[in-house]
Chains A and B, each alone.
Chain A
Amino acid sequence: MAPSRRTLHEILVTTPSFVWLSVLFCVPTLIVFAMTFKPADMYGGLGPGWTLETLRHLANPNYPAIIWRTIWLSAAATLISLVLSIPMAYYIARATPGLRNALLLLTIVPFWTNFLIRIFAWKILLHPEGFLKRALVAAGIIAPDTSLLYNPEAVLVVMVYTYLPFAILPIYAAAEKFDFHLLEAAMDLGASRLTAFRKVFLPGIRRGILTAFLMVFIPSLGSYVIPDVVGGPNSEMIGNKIAQRVFVDRNLPHASGLSAFLTLAVLVPLAVVWVVQKRTSGQPPTMQEVA
Chain B
Amino acid sequence: MAEFLEFVDVSKTFGRLRAVDHVSLGVRRGEFFSLLGPSGCGKTTLLRMLGGFEIPDTGRIYLDGVDITDLPPNRRQVNTIFQNYALFPHLSVWENIAFGLRVAKRPRREIFNEVERMLALIQMEEHAHKKPHQISGGQKQRVAIARALINKPSVLLLDEPLAALDLKLRQRMLIELDLIHDQVGITFLYVTHDQGEAMSLSDRIAVMNQGRIEQLGTPAEVYEAPRSSFVAAFIGDTNFFEGRVAEIINDDYILMQIDGFPSVVCFNDKKMKVNDLVYLSVRPEKFRISRERPQLDGRYNLISANVEDIIYLGSHTKYWVRVDEYRLAISQQHGRFLLDEQPIRWKDDVWIWWHADDGYMLERYSEADELLIQTPPEEVGQNGAVPAPPRAEV
Residues of A within 8 A of B (CB): 179, 181-182, 184-193, 195, 199-200, 203-204, 206, 282-288, 290-291
Do A181 and B86 contact each other (CB < 8 Å), given the known contacts A188-B79, A190-B151, A290-B133?
yes
| A285 engages B89 (CB within 8 Å) | yes
**Binary flags per residue of B63-74, CB closer than 8 Å to A gives 1, else 0:** 000000000111
| B99 engages A186 (CB within 8 Å) | yes
Shortest Cβ gap from A285 to chain B (Å): 6
- Residues of B within 8 Å of A199, CB to CB, are 99, 103
| A190 engages B88 (CB within 8 Å) | no
Q: Can you list 15 A-B pairs with a CB-CB distance of less than 8 A? A: A181-B84, A182-B88, A184-B73, A184-B80, A186-B103, A188-B73, A189-B103, A190-B104, A192-B103, A195-B103, A199-B103, A203-B88, A204-B89, A284-B134, A287-B87
**Binary flags per residue of B121-139, CB closer than 8 Å to A gives 1, else 0:** 0000000000111100000
- Residues of B within 8 Å of A184, CB to CB, are 51, 53, 73, 80, 82, 86
- Residues of B within 8 Å of A190, CB to CB, are 74, 100, 103-104, 151
Residues of B within 8 A of A (CB): 51-53, 72-74, 78-80, 82, 84-90, 99-100, 103-104, 131-134, 147-148, 151, 164
Closest 7 CB pairs of A and B: A284-B133, A185-B86, A284-B89, A189-B100, A187-B73, A203-B90, A191-B103
| B131 engages A282 (CB within 8 Å) | yes
Interchain CA distance A188-B103 in the complex, whole Å: 11
| B82 engages A185 (CB within 8 Å) | yes
Interchain CA distance A288-B103 in the complex, whole Å: 25
Using CB atoms, name the residue of chain B closest to A185: B86
Shortest Cβ gap from B309 to chain A (Å): 37
| A181 engages B82 (CB within 8 Å) | yes
| B51 engages A188 (CB within 8 Å) | yes
| A186 engages B88 (CB within 8 Å) | yes
Do A189 and B89 contact each other (CB < 8 Å), given the known contacts A181-B82, A284-B132, A285-B133?
no
Interchain CA distance A142-B90 in the complex, whole Å: 46
- Residues of B within 8 Å of A193, CB to CB, are 72
Q: How many A-B residue pairs have CB under 8 A?
A: 85
Interchain CA distance A185-B85 in the complex, whole Å: 9
Partner of A188, one of B80, B84, B133: B80
Shortest Cβ gap from A280 to chain B (Å): 8
Using CB atoms, name the residue of chain A closest to B144: A185
Since A182-B88, A189-B74 are in contact, a sample of 4 more A-B pairs with Cβ atoms closer than 8 Å, ordered by chain A residue number, is A188-B52, A189-B103, A287-B86, A287-B87
Shortest Cβ gap from A130 to chain B (Å): 46
Interchain CA distance A206-B89 in the complex, whole Å: 12
| B151 engages A189 (CB within 8 Å) | yes
Interchain CA distance A1-B89 in the complex, whole Å: 41
- Residues of B within 8 Å of A204, CB to CB, are 89-90
- Residues of B within 8 Å of A195, CB to CB, are 103
| A283 engages B90 (CB within 8 Å) | yes
Please indicate which of the listed interface residues B103, B104, B164 has the most CB atoms of chain A within 10 Å of its own CB. B103
Shortest Cβ gap from A221 to chain B (Å): 30
- Residues of A within 8 Å of B90, CB to CB, are 203-204, 206, 283-284
- Residues of B within 8 Å of A285, CB to CB, are 89, 133
- Residues of B within 8 Å of A283, CB to CB, are 89-90
Interchain CA distance A186-B82 in the complex, whole Å: 11
- Residues of A within 8 Å of B104, CB to CB, are 190
- Residues of A within 8 Å of B131, CB to CB, are 282, 284
- Residues of B within 8 Å of A182, CB to CB, are 86, 88-89
Interchain CA distance A181-B159 in the complex, whole Å: 13
Interchain CA distance A179-B82 in the complex, whole Å: 12
Interchain CA distance A182-B133 in the complex, whole Å: 15
Interchain CA distance A120-B72 in the complex, whole Å: 49
Using CB atoms, name the residue of chain B closest to A181: B86
Shortest Cβ gap from A200 to chain B (Å): 6
Please indicate which of the listed interface residues B53, B73, B100, B134 has the most CB atoms of chain A within 10 Å of its own CB. B73
- Residues of A within 8 Å of B51, CB to CB, are 184, 188
Interchain CA distance A274-B79 in the complex, whole Å: 39
Interchain CA distance A186-B90 in the complex, whole Å: 13
Interchain CA distance A20-B172 in the complex, whole Å: 58
Do A189 and B147 contact each other (CB < 8 Å), given the known contacts A184-B73, A291-B164?
yes
- Residues of B within 8 Å of A188, CB to CB, are 51-53, 73-74, 78-80, 148
Using CB atoms, name the residue of chain A closest to B164: A291
Interchain CA distance A166-B103 in the complex, whole Å: 33
Partner of A287, one of B78, B89, B100, B103: B89
Using CB atoms, name the residue of chain B closest to A184: B53
Do A291 and B84 contact each other (CB < 8 Å), given the known contacts A189-B99, A189-B147, A285-B89?
yes
Using CB atoms, name the residue of chain A closest to B86: A185
Using CB atoms, name the residue of chain B closest to A182: B86
- Residues of B within 8 Å of A187, CB to CB, are 52, 72-74
Partner of B80, one of A179, A185, A200, A288: A185
- Residues of B within 8 Å of A206, CB to CB, are 90
Interchain CA distance A204-B134 in the complex, whole Å: 17
Interchain CA distance A181-B44 in the complex, whole Å: 14
- Residues of A within 8 Å of B86, CB to CB, are 179, 181-182, 184-185, 287
| A200 engages B88 (CB within 8 Å) | yes
- Residues of A within 8 Å of B100, CB to CB, are 189-190
Interchain CA distance A23-B148 in the complex, whole Å: 58
Shortest Cβ gap from A286 to chain B (Å): 7
Shortest Cβ gap from A224 to chain B (Å): 39
- Residues of A within 8 Å of B80, CB to CB, are 184-185, 188
Interchain CA distance A199-B103 in the complex, whole Å: 9
- Residues of A within 8 Å of B52, CB to CB, are 187-188
